[in-house]
Amino acid sequence: MRYNLLRFDNLPSTNTYLKENSENLPDMTAVTADFQTNGRGRMGNTWIADRGCLALSLLIKRSIKPTGLTLLCAVATARAIKQLCGEAVGIKWTNDIILADCKVCGILCEGKLYGDNSGYEYIICGIGLNVNQSREFFVNSSLPNAASLYTITGRKYDKEQAARLILDNISELLECDGEYVLKEYISLCITLGKRVRLIQNGNEIFARAVSVDNDGALICENDSGGLFRVTAGEVKLRAENGDYI
Ligand code: BTN
């Protein structure tokens, strides 16, 4: 399954570009911008990045559940990082990519439902991979728990190669069974088996993350042994140094 890659020097946001042009662009249109002036993150956050970051978005126009696609993109990105620099990353539920206890990639999937709610007209997967930013960038941006492939491995990488590896892996995984993708996701998910801090609607609770179900929900166990599903909100994970990331 091939994709068509459009490359820009700068855009407000690659996700916004695809959203605004979704009617005229076909399935599997990908777009990169060397720099975003208004990069967007999850939960309404701003995605702070300089030209060291790969900003990549992919337009999907086919019947697929957004939750499944979110997990698939995380697996594809983890595979691509391994192929690019040899590092084995972990996935923090749902879709933060973690290397050496730092976030190196965030993923924002956004969809538009048909008017009659019968399915999705499109889904846009936006991937922000910290490739070549310097340590100073993260310090100056007050991002103590973020890092780039460069700060971790000491080597710089070609952002277009990174984009193509991610897109090749997404294309390959889209041909696979959902169960196969979920199995690989679970094997990469570093949240599982850990004590997590859940922040939902301003409330904070602690629990143990147990599994991820077919719908991509995180199954947690409370201190009394009761199981519950987490589908949204922030899930923080305790790192080696005791910080919650
Ligand atoms: C997160 O909050 O972790 C998700 C960040 C997603 C950032 C990427 S960069 C490419 C695409 N364009 C955007 O505006 N956001 C996503």
Q: Is the pTM of this model over 0.85?
A: yes
Ligand 1 centroid to residue 184 C-alpha, Å: 23
Determine the pLDDT at residue 67.
84
Determine the pLDDT at residue 72.
97
Determine the pLDDT at residue 11.
98
Q: Which residues line ligand 1 (CB under 6 A)?
A: 13-15, 36, 39-42, 45, 47, 55-57, 96, 106-108, 126-128
Determine the pLDDT at residue 205.
87
- For residue 241, what pLDDT band results from cuts at 50, 70 and 90? low
Determine the pLDDT at residue 129.
98
Q: Which residue's CA lies nearest to atom 15 of ligand 1?
A: 40
pLDDT surpassing 80 at residue 53 = yes
DSSP, residue by residue, the chain? ---EEEEEEEES-HHHHHHHHTTTS-TTEEEEEEEESS-B-GGG-B----TTEEEEEEEE-SS--HHHHHHHHHHHHHHHHHHHH----EEETTTEEEETTEEEEEEEEEEEE-TTSSSEEEEEEEEEEE-S--HHHHHHTT-TTB--HHHHHS----HHHHHHHHHHHHHHHHTS-HHHHHHHHHHHBTTTTSEEEEEETTEEEEEEEEEE-TTSPEEEE-TTS-EEEE-SSEEEEB-TTS-B-
Structure confidence by residue, pLDDT tens digits, 116-145: 888 899 999 999 999 999 999 999 999 999
Ligand 1 centroid to residue 54 C-alpha, Å: 10
pLDDT surpassing 70 at residue 210 = yes
